[in-house]
Amino acid sequence: MNIYVIRNNHRFGPYDEQTLLLYVNNGQVLKQDKAIADSDSFERTVGFYLKRANLKSHVQNKGNVLTQLSAIGSELIFPKAKLFSKQFLSDQRFLILALVGLLPMIIMTIPLGGFFIFYEVSLYFSIIWGLFFYACFKTHQVKLKTTLNVFFLTQLCVFVAWDLLGLPKVNPFYAFTDVHFPFNILGYVFGVGLTEEFGKMIPLLIILRKAKEPLIPQTMVFYGLMAGISFGVFEGVQYQMTVNAEQTYAVSFFLNIARLTSLPFLHACWCGIAGYFLSFAHLYPKYRRGLYVLAISIPAIVHGLYDSFADLGAISLVMVFLGLMLLMMYLKQSVDYQSKLRQ
């Protein structure tokens, strides 16, 4: 019987069963390799044809354990030259895995307490989101220095504006957050949503002002995502020190994990939308007023509606999903926006 071995979509052969058995015993062909006979219409495996011919394979060991290890060689088992090479130490996958895996262990060695413990935990979860967003949304324009500046500048701006200057107290719409539904929507949209989204936009406006080249929408979406998760650090610390601290240990532990993983994501999606429209406002300045309005109003409305329905789990989840859908759809419609705005 003529049998073909298939590897990487290429056929090799034909071989008879005895020849295949010889190749398998020599380790040149695997029983799991795909194969097909002239008489068959679909692929099987080499092992199937050997079994059908009542042939049993036995791969011979090439020497004992020490002989095999010696053949592999110390330069492959412990490649010290490559292990400490600049090329390997700068490998992106290695750095991401090291950062995600080792950062908690580093945190445990730092003798800090109180606020700093909460900040470190919030920071860790935000870094994980940041690495994920970097892998999904980075462009050739994204710079590490700018990314770090956005991440920490947002935290500084929010800390100064919220804790030192008391910005939320300046906005009269915050008073409506304490009234009954549906009037509380005014407070959450024009108070919480508008204020927080404006605070997250400030670093993005600085980036655009200092940019030495036109920044494409996806670049600004990425920086918006980073500003959003940075705000999530601030809010995560607030929740840990206030609301969560009043709960039992089990409830507090669950809420910490849930909020520290979800809050950065929520704020990132909303601020990513802002970054998208801010980019177009600078690329097509004739339409900048309308685009600035979209950059602040859409995130503020989605954010405010989410907060308004926060106690109604299903509806709040719909608002989260809507924000994510809008962000991704806007990215897909970039060409359509360009066509409209060129007119």
The amino acid that residue 253 corresponds to is F
The tens digit of pLDDT for each residue in 10-65 reads 999 899 999 999 999 988 999 999 999 988 888 999 999 999 989 999 988 888 89
Is residue 14 exposed (0-12), middle (13-18) or buried (19+ Cβ within 10 Å)? middle
Residue 44's DSSP bridge partners are: 35
**Residue 20 to residues 1, 12, 34, 39, 60: CA-CA distances in angstroms?**
11, 11, 12, 17, 15
Q: In this structure, how many other beta carbons lie within 10 angstroms of the beta carbon of residue 155? A: 22
Closest Cα partner for 27 from 62, 67, 64? 62
| Strand ranges for the chain from DSSP E | 3-7, 10-15, 34-37, 44-45
What single-letter amino acid sits at 106?
I
Neighbours of 270 (CB within 10 A): 29
Hey, where are the domains in the chain? 3-60, 91-341
**209/217 Cα distance (integer angstroms):** 15
**What is the C-alpha to C-alpha distance for residues 236 and 262, in angstroms, rounded to an integer?**
10
pLDDT of residue 329: 92
Mean pLDDT value of segment 220-224: 94
Whether the pLDDT of residue 197 is over 70: the answer is yes
Residue 339 CA: distances (Å) to CA of 217, 219, 302, 325, 342: 14, 19, 26, 22, 5
Most confident of 97-111, 242-256, 298-312: 298-312
At residue 86, does pLDDT exceed 60?
Answer: yes
Residue 107 phi, psi dihedral angles, 5° rounding: -60, -40
pLDDT, position 217: 92
Per-residue pLDDT at 274? 95
Helices and strands of the chain, counted as H and E runs? 17, 4
What is the pLDDT at residue 59?
A: 87
Structure tokens given for 272: 């990513």
pLDDT number for residue 230 = 87
Residue predicted with more confidence, 331 or 164: 331
CA distances from 101 to 64, 96, 104, 124, 342 (A): 37, 8, 7, 10, 47
Give the chain's largest Cα–Cα span.
Answer: 87
Mean pLDDT for 186-194 is 91
pLDDT at 277 (0 to 100): 94
The token pair at 312 is 């109604």
Q: What's phi and psi for 14, nearest 5 deg?
A: -85, 160
Specify which of 35-44, 76-85, 156-165 reaches the highest per-range mean pLDDT: 35-44
The partner residues of 3 in beta bridges, in order of sequence, read: 15, 37
